[in-house]
A = this chain, B = another copy of it.
Protein backbone atom coordinates (compact mmCIF):
# COMPACT_ATOMS: atom_id res chain seq x y z
CA UNK A 1 0.00 0.00 0.00
CA UNK A 2 3.06 2.31 0.05
CA UNK A 3 2.45 5.33 -2.16
CA UNK A 4 5.01 5.78 -4.87
CA UNK A 5 6.34 9.30 -4.86
CA UNK A 6 8.43 11.10 -7.44
CA UNK A 7 11.30 13.42 -6.60
CA UNK A 8 9.25 16.52 -5.89
CA UNK A 9 9.16 17.69 -2.27
CA UNK A 10 6.67 15.67 -0.26
CA UNK A 11 4.39 17.62 2.05
CA UNK A 12 2.22 15.89 4.64
CA UNK A 13 -0.90 17.77 5.69
CA UNK A 14 -3.08 17.13 8.73
CA UNK A 15 -5.45 19.08 10.94
CA UNK A 16 -7.80 18.66 13.88
CA UNK A 17 -11.05 20.03 12.45
CA UNK A 18 -11.40 17.05 10.15
CA UNK A 19 -10.62 16.34 6.52
CA UNK A 20 -13.64 18.23 5.18
CA UNK A 21 -12.89 21.54 6.97
CA UNK A 22 -12.41 24.71 4.96
CA UNK A 23 -9.12 25.40 6.75
CA UNK A 24 -7.38 22.23 5.59
CA UNK A 25 -8.64 22.79 2.07
CA UNK A 26 -7.03 26.24 2.13
CA UNK A 27 -3.77 24.81 3.47
CA UNK A 28 -3.68 22.11 0.77
CA UNK A 29 -4.19 24.72 -1.94
CA UNK A 30 -1.29 26.80 -0.63
CA UNK A 31 1.30 24.05 -0.13
CA UNK A 32 0.60 22.07 -3.30
CA UNK A 33 2.37 24.86 -5.17
CA UNK A 34 5.57 23.59 -3.52
CA UNK A 35 5.38 19.84 -4.05
CA UNK A 36 3.35 16.68 -3.88
CA UNK A 37 0.81 16.67 -1.10
CA UNK A 38 -0.43 13.76 0.97
CA UNK A 39 -3.24 14.52 3.41
CA UNK A 40 -3.98 12.25 6.36
CA UNK A 41 -6.53 13.89 8.61
CA UNK A 42 -9.22 12.91 11.08
CA UNK A 43 -12.56 11.89 9.59
CA UNK A 44 -14.32 13.96 12.22
CA UNK A 45 -13.51 17.08 14.25
CA UNK A 46 -10.81 16.46 16.89
CA UNK A 47 -10.47 19.86 18.58
CA UNK A 48 -8.77 19.90 21.95
CA UNK A 49 -7.11 16.53 21.35
CA UNK A 50 -3.65 17.88 22.17
CA UNK A 51 -0.91 15.34 21.41
CA UNK A 52 -3.22 12.38 22.18
CA UNK A 53 -2.51 9.04 20.55
CA UNK A 54 -4.74 6.02 20.13
CA UNK A 55 -3.54 2.79 21.66
CA UNK A 56 -6.71 1.12 22.95
CA UNK A 57 -8.63 0.86 19.69
CA UNK A 58 -7.32 0.17 16.19
CA UNK A 59 -7.03 2.87 13.55
CA UNK A 60 -8.55 2.83 10.10
CA UNK A 61 -7.25 4.65 7.05
CA UNK A 62 -9.59 5.31 4.10
CA UNK A 63 -8.86 6.88 0.74
CA UNK A 64 -10.87 10.06 0.15
CA UNK A 65 -9.34 11.25 -3.11
CA UNK A 66 -6.38 10.61 -5.40
CA UNK A 67 -5.33 12.93 -8.16
CA UNK A 68 -2.06 14.11 -9.73
CA UNK A 69 0.15 15.37 -6.89
CA UNK A 70 -2.54 15.08 -4.21
CA UNK A 71 -3.71 12.08 -2.20
CA UNK A 72 -6.22 12.50 0.61
CA UNK A 73 -6.90 9.98 3.38
CA UNK A 74 -8.99 10.06 6.50
CA UNK A 75 -8.58 8.18 9.76
CA UNK A 76 -10.34 7.74 13.08
CA UNK A 77 -7.11 8.74 14.84
CA UNK A 78 -5.99 12.02 16.36
CA UNK A 79 -3.82 14.44 14.37
CA UNK A 80 -0.70 12.89 15.96
CA UNK A 81 -1.95 9.41 14.98
CA UNK A 82 -2.49 10.64 11.42
CA UNK A 83 1.13 11.80 11.20
CA UNK A 84 2.36 8.51 12.70
CA UNK A 85 0.40 6.30 10.31
CA UNK A 86 1.38 8.44 7.33
CA UNK A 87 5.10 8.35 8.13
CA UNK A 88 5.30 4.78 9.42
CA UNK A 89 2.88 3.01 7.15
CA UNK A 90 1.52 4.95 4.21
CA UNK A 91 4.52 6.75 2.74
CA UNK A 92 7.58 5.13 1.22
CA UNK A 93 9.80 8.02 2.28
CA UNK A 94 9.84 10.56 5.08
CA UNK A 95 7.89 13.72 4.19
CA UNK A 96 10.00 16.85 3.72
CA UNK A 97 7.48 18.96 5.63
CA UNK A 98 4.47 18.52 7.89
CA UNK A 99 1.85 21.27 8.00
CA UNK A 100 -1.16 21.16 10.30
CA UNK A 101 -4.30 23.29 10.06
CA UNK A 102 -5.40 25.81 9.16
CA UNK A 103 -7.23 25.53 12.44
CA UNK A 104 -10.60 27.22 12.83
CA UNK A 105 -9.79 29.11 16.03
CA UNK A 106 -6.82 30.33 18.06
CA UNK A 107 -4.02 28.14 19.36
CA UNK A 108 -1.92 30.91 20.87
CA UNK A 109 -0.35 31.12 24.33
CA UNK A 110 -1.07 28.10 26.55
CA UNK A 111 -3.78 26.90 24.17
CA UNK A 112 -0.94 25.28 22.25
CA UNK A 113 -1.00 22.58 24.95
CA UNK A 114 -4.64 21.71 24.23
CA UNK A 115 -4.28 21.98 20.48
CA UNK A 116 -4.64 18.96 18.24
CA UNK A 117 -3.25 21.12 15.43
CA UNK A 118 -0.03 21.58 17.42
CA UNK A 119 -0.07 17.88 18.37
CA UNK A 120 0.07 16.99 14.67
CA UNK A 121 2.91 19.43 14.03
CA UNK A 122 4.88 18.37 17.13
CA UNK A 123 4.62 14.74 16.01
CA UNK A 124 6.23 15.77 12.72
CA UNK A 125 9.01 17.48 14.67
CA UNK A 126 9.56 14.28 16.70
CA UNK A 127 10.18 12.52 13.36
CA UNK A 128 12.82 15.14 12.53
CA UNK A 129 10.60 16.82 9.91
CA UNK A 130 10.23 20.64 9.70
CA UNK A 131 6.66 21.11 10.93
CA UNK A 132 4.29 24.04 11.27
CA UNK A 133 0.88 24.48 12.91
CA UNK A 134 -1.34 27.19 11.40
CA UNK A 135 -4.44 28.64 13.08
CA UNK A 136 -6.86 31.41 12.15
CA UNK A 137 -8.57 33.31 14.98
CA UNK A 138 -12.04 32.57 13.62
CA UNK A 139 -13.96 29.54 14.86
CA UNK A 140 -16.66 29.66 12.20
CA UNK A 141 -16.92 26.79 9.70
CA UNK A 142 -17.18 29.33 6.86
CA UNK A 143 -14.32 31.56 8.12
CA UNK A 144 -12.59 33.68 5.49
CA UNK A 145 -9.08 32.24 4.91
CA UNK A 146 -8.11 34.49 2.00
CA UNK A 147 -5.69 36.75 3.88
CA UNK A 148 -4.51 33.88 6.07
CA UNK A 149 -3.59 31.87 2.97
CA UNK A 150 -1.17 34.60 1.86
CA UNK A 151 0.71 34.48 5.17
CA UNK A 152 0.63 30.68 5.27
CA UNK A 153 2.27 30.73 1.86
CA UNK A 154 4.92 33.25 2.86
CA UNK A 155 5.83 31.38 6.03
CA UNK A 156 5.83 28.02 4.29
CA UNK A 157 8.02 29.41 1.50
CA UNK A 158 10.48 30.69 4.08
CA UNK A 159 10.60 27.31 5.84
CA UNK A 160 10.86 25.58 2.46
CA UNK A 161 14.05 27.56 1.84
CA UNK A 162 15.53 27.73 5.36
CA UNK A 163 14.21 24.68 7.23
CA UNK A 164 13.50 24.63 10.96
CA UNK A 165 15.93 23.91 13.79
CA UNK A 166 15.86 20.32 15.04
CA UNK A 167 13.40 19.71 17.85
CA UNK A 168 11.44 22.89 17.11
CA UNK A 169 7.91 23.33 15.68
CA UNK A 170 6.43 26.65 14.58
CA UNK A 171 3.08 27.66 16.06
CA UNK A 172 1.55 30.26 13.74
CA UNK A 173 -1.62 32.16 14.62
CA UNK A 174 -3.32 34.57 12.24
CA UNK A 175 -5.78 37.31 13.17
CA UNK A 176 -9.04 37.48 11.24
CA UNK A 177 -9.67 40.27 8.77
CA UNK A 178 -7.70 41.50 5.77
CA UNK A 179 -5.74 44.36 7.25
CA UNK A 180 -2.78 42.61 8.87
CA UNK A 181 0.49 44.35 9.66
CA UNK A 182 2.91 41.48 8.98
CA UNK A 183 4.59 38.63 10.87
CA UNK A 184 6.05 38.84 14.39
CA UNK A 185 8.38 36.25 15.93
CA UNK A 186 7.09 35.89 19.48
CA UNK A 187 7.30 34.04 22.72
CA UNK A 188 4.32 32.21 24.18
CA UNK A 189 2.32 34.60 26.38
CA UNK A 190 1.84 33.68 30.02
CA UNK A 191 -1.83 33.30 30.79
CA UNK A 192 -4.51 30.71 31.24
CA UNK A 193 -8.07 29.83 30.49
CA UNK A 194 -10.60 30.84 33.11
CA UNK A 195 -13.32 28.26 32.87
CA UNK A 196 -16.86 28.12 33.93
CA UNK A 197 -18.62 24.80 33.97
CA UNK A 198 -22.19 25.31 32.91
CA UNK A 199 -24.28 22.85 34.90
CA UNK A 200 -27.39 21.30 33.36
CA UNK A 201 -29.65 18.44 34.40
CA UNK A 202 -30.29 15.50 32.09
CA UNK A 203 -33.78 13.95 31.59
CA UNK A 204 -32.96 11.41 34.30
CA UNK A 205 -32.19 14.13 36.82
CA UNK A 206 -28.40 13.84 36.74
CA UNK A 207 -26.03 16.78 36.50
CA UNK A 208 -23.83 17.29 33.48
CA UNK A 209 -21.41 20.09 32.62
CA UNK A 210 -20.36 22.03 29.55
CA UNK A 211 -16.86 23.47 29.55
CA UNK A 212 -16.87 27.17 28.71
CA UNK A 213 -14.41 29.95 29.44
CA UNK A 214 -12.27 32.82 28.34
CA UNK A 215 -8.55 33.39 28.03
CA UNK A 216 -6.87 35.60 30.62
CA UNK A 217 -3.55 37.15 29.51
CA UNK A 218 -1.31 37.48 32.58
CA UNK A 219 1.04 39.95 30.90
CA UNK A 220 -1.05 42.20 28.63
CA UNK A 221 1.65 44.90 28.54
CA UNK A 222 4.47 42.68 27.27
CA UNK A 223 5.01 43.44 23.58
CA UNK A 224 7.02 40.32 22.70
CA UNK A 225 4.23 37.77 23.19
CA UNK A 226 1.97 36.07 20.68
CA UNK A 227 -1.09 37.51 22.42
CA UNK A 228 0.23 41.05 21.98
CA UNK A 229 1.04 40.43 18.32
CA UNK A 230 -2.43 39.04 17.62
CA UNK A 231 -4.20 41.83 19.52
CA UNK A 232 -2.23 44.30 17.39
CA UNK A 233 -3.10 42.64 14.08
CA UNK A 234 0.17 40.83 13.49
CA UNK A 235 0.56 37.18 12.52
CA UNK A 236 2.34 35.51 15.47
CA UNK A 237 4.99 32.83 15.05
CA UNK A 238 6.20 31.07 18.21
CA UNK A 239 9.03 28.55 17.78
CA UNK A 240 8.18 25.74 20.23
CA UNK A 241 10.64 23.22 21.62
CA UNK A 242 9.77 19.54 22.05
CA UNK A 243 12.27 19.54 24.90
CA UNK A 244 10.13 20.68 27.84
CA UNK A 245 12.99 20.66 30.35
CA UNK A 246 13.16 23.77 32.52
CA UNK A 247 16.95 23.96 32.73
CA UNK A 248 16.97 26.69 35.37
CA UNK A 249 15.03 24.37 37.68
CA UNK A 250 17.41 21.49 36.92
CA UNK A 251 20.33 23.53 38.18
CA UNK A 252 18.50 24.83 41.24
CA UNK A 253 17.11 21.43 42.26
CA UNK A 254 20.50 19.76 41.91
CA UNK A 255 21.94 22.22 44.39
CA UNK A 256 19.30 22.13 47.06
CA UNK A 257 19.09 18.60 48.22
CA UNK A 258 16.21 16.88 46.47
CA UNK A 259 18.68 14.31 45.15
CA UNK A 260 19.86 13.48 48.65
CA UNK A 261 16.87 11.66 50.09
CA UNK A 262 17.82 8.30 51.60
CA UNK A 263 18.38 5.56 49.10
CA UNK A 264 18.62 2.67 51.55
CA UNK A 265 15.03 1.65 51.63
CA UNK A 266 15.18 -2.09 51.50
CA UNK A 267 13.15 -2.23 54.68
CA UNK A 268 10.40 0.16 53.57
> Chain B residues with Cβ under 8 A from A7's Cβ?
none
The CA of A248 and the CA of B187, in the complex, are separated in Å by 11
Cβ of A112 within 8 Å of any chain B Cβ, yes or no, is yes
Contacts A85-B197, A206-B60, A258-B158 known; A244 to B244 CB distance under 8 Å? yes
Q: Which residues of B contact A184 (CB under 8 A)?
A: 259
Q: Count the copies.
A: 2
Given A51-B50, A197-B88, check contact A185 B244 (CB 8 Å): no
Cα A239 to Cα B55 in complex, Å, equals: 27
B48 touches A54 (CB 8 A): yes
Interface pair A243/B47, CB less than 8 Å apart: no
A146 interfacial contact with B, CB 8 Å? yes
- CB-based contact B237/A241 at 8 Å: no
Contacts of A245 in B (CB 8 A): 187-188, 238-241
Whether the Cβ atoms of B243 and A188 lie closer than 8 Å is yes
* Inter-chain contact B246/A244, CB cutoff 8 Å: no
The stretch among A19-27, A64-72, A162-170 that forms the contact with chain B is: A162-170
In the complex, 17 of the A-B residue pairs with CB atoms within 8 angstroms, ordered by the A residue number, are A47-B55, A51-B113, A53-B114, A58-B210, A60-B206, A80-B114, A84-B195, A85-B197, A155-B258, A162-B258, A168-B249, A171-B244, A178-B265, A182-B260, A185-B259, A238-B244, A240-B244
